[in-house]
Chain A
Amino acid sequence: MHSFGYRLNGLLTFAVTILALMCVIASLSDNLNIPSPSAEIQIMNINWFQKQPKGSDEVSLTMNISADLQSLFTWNTKQVFIFVAAEYETRKNSLNQVSLWDAIIPAKERSKFWIRSSNKYRFVDHGKNLRGKEFNLTLHWHVMPKTGKMFADKIVMSGYSLPEEYI
């Protein structure tokens, strides 16, 4: 009953159980944090706006993005993935989400920032619906923990629109 193997087995089982329990508690502790992030996005310039050879509208724009996401970070946060998506509705599609820009924030110290960037990914529509289109810019964040459950949420900013004619 008290051989070396049994003791080793008992010790290992106990260690793994405690480790698993600590992971669960660490993940649960994230729920205690109630974040209050803020963000603002301005469209500074429409660089160009045209119809692709294949027939879909494509636009290139420059944005000013400023955000304060410090409250998203807890001791169990490995990184926060953020992205800005243009979201709009067309006659054919009930929802279009096009990611324009994204970034990985590795530490709390860098979670209050200001950046000017043109769209990193192509803003292409699923058709020819972008002229004069009103759309929302949404800042999404995805909190990736050191262990446990992942969290995601967003801030929707509305009232952006594209020009009536191609540039």
Chain B
Amino acid sequence: MGWIGDTVDSIKSIQIRQLLTQAVSLGMIVTSALIIWKALMCITGSESPVVVVLSGSMEPGFKRGDILFLHMSKDPIRAGEIVVFNVDGREIPIVHRVIKVHERQDTGEVDVLTKGDNNYGDDRLLYAQGQQWLHRHHIMGRAVGFLPYVGWVTIIMTEKPIIKYILIGALGLLVITSKD
């Protein structure tokens, strides 16, 4: 009970100077998160340096809710690499393994075919209608590192938005009522 009372009291006792300090510290938190994200984009050269695995098509290697760290370098794409690619007409990128590569002698263009480790057949069914191969521009990055379970946070938040609002609300309240 005392805790709630304190909270109410502290909200009542907010002064303009304190309010400003809190606004600044909240802003610092948001901007530093943004800085870290953008810095990761620069370092890895990938549009989205971290992706969450959403399907079970790469099990048992990657399960739903695992996090992958991507890297996009100029290195040519080779069979066996796990790449993240976009297919025209599909919003969500796919993480699958490259099983075939044909690299052109003159132009260096590549034709790539992918497959999920846990899928029976290759990915031609997932590609756009009539598309046989992936090309360089479809590929957003290759997976280099792996962290289990952490992605569940974002999966839960996107699927149950109410939890997101509760969390943001609670954090906001904490920042406002903190007495530092």
The reply to whether the CB of B123 lies closer than 8 angstroms to some CB of chain A is: no
Say whether chain A's binding surface is mostly helix, strand, loop, or mixed: strand
**Given B3, B101, B102, B146, which contacts A147 in the complex, CB threshold below 8 Å?**
B146
Interface string of A1-36 (1 = CB under 8 A from B): 001110000000000000000010001000000000
**Given B81, B97, B101, B146, which contacts A145 in the complex, CB threshold below 8 Å?**
B146
**Given A85, A140, A150, which contacts B143 in the complex, CB threshold below 8 Å?**
A150
The reply to whether the CB of A167 lies closer than 8 angstroms to some CB of chain B is: no
Select the stretch in B25-33, B40-48, B103-111, B157-165 that faces chain A: B103-111
The reply to whether the CB of A96 lies closer than 8 angstroms to some CB of chain B is: yes
Set of chain A residues within 8 Å of B6, measured between Cβ atoms: 3
Bound: A152/B145 CA distance, A: 12
Interface hits, B18-40 → A, CB 8 Å: none
Question: Taking CB as reference atom, which chain B residue is nearest A138?
Answer: B79
**Given B62, B80, B174, which contacts A83 in the complex, CB threshold below 8 Å?**
B80
Interface hits, A126-167 → B, CB 8 Å: 126, 140, 142, 144-150, 152, 154
The reply to whether the CB of A47 lies closer than 8 angstroms to some CB of chain B is: no
Could you say which interface size class chain A belongs to? 35 or more
Interface string of A82-117 (1 = CB under 8 A from B): 010100000111111111001010100000000000
Question: Taking CB as reference atom, which chain A residue is nearest B66?
Answer: A147
Given known contacts A5-B174, A81-B117, A99-B79, is B102 in contact with A144 (CB within 8 Å)?
A: no
Question: Taking CB as reference atom, which chain B residue is nearest A123?
Answer: B100
Please tell me if the beta carbons of A148 and B146 are within 8 angstroms of each other in the complex: yes
Whole-angstrom distance from the CB of B130 to the nearest CB of chain A?
Answer: 14
Set of chain B residues within 8 Å of A92, measured between Cβ atoms: 104-105
How many residues of chain B have a CB within 8 Å of chain A? Answer: 31
Bound: A121/B97 CA distance, A: 14
Question: Taking CB as reference atom, which chain A residue is nearest B106?
Answer: A92
Please tell me if the beta carbons of A146 and B148 are within 8 angstroms of each other in the complex: yes
Whole-angstrom distance from the CB of B95 to the nearest CB of chain A?
Answer: 12
Set of chain B residues within 8 Å of A126, measured between Cβ atoms: 102, 111
Please tell me if the beta carbons of B147 and A78 are within 8 angstroms of each other in the complex: no
Set of chain B residues within 8 Å of A94, measured between Cβ atoms: 103-105, 108
Question: Taking CB as reference atom, which chain B residue is nearest A94?
Answer: B105
Please tell me if the beta carbons of B144 and A85 are within 8 angstroms of each other in the complex: no
The reply to whether the CB of B78 lies closer than 8 angstroms to some CB of chain A is: yes
Bound: A96/B110 CA distance, A: 10
Set of chain B residues within 8 Å of A93, measured between Cβ atoms: 102-105
Bound: A85/B101 CA distance, A: 10
15 contacts between A and B (CB under 8 A): A81-B61, A83-B99, A94-B103, A94-B104, A95-B76, A96-B101, A97-B78, A97-B79, A102-B117, A106-B60, A145-B146, A147-B146, A148-B146, A150-B143, A152-B80
5 interchain residue pairs of minimum CB distance: A99-B99, A97-B79, A97-B101, A95-B103, A140-B80
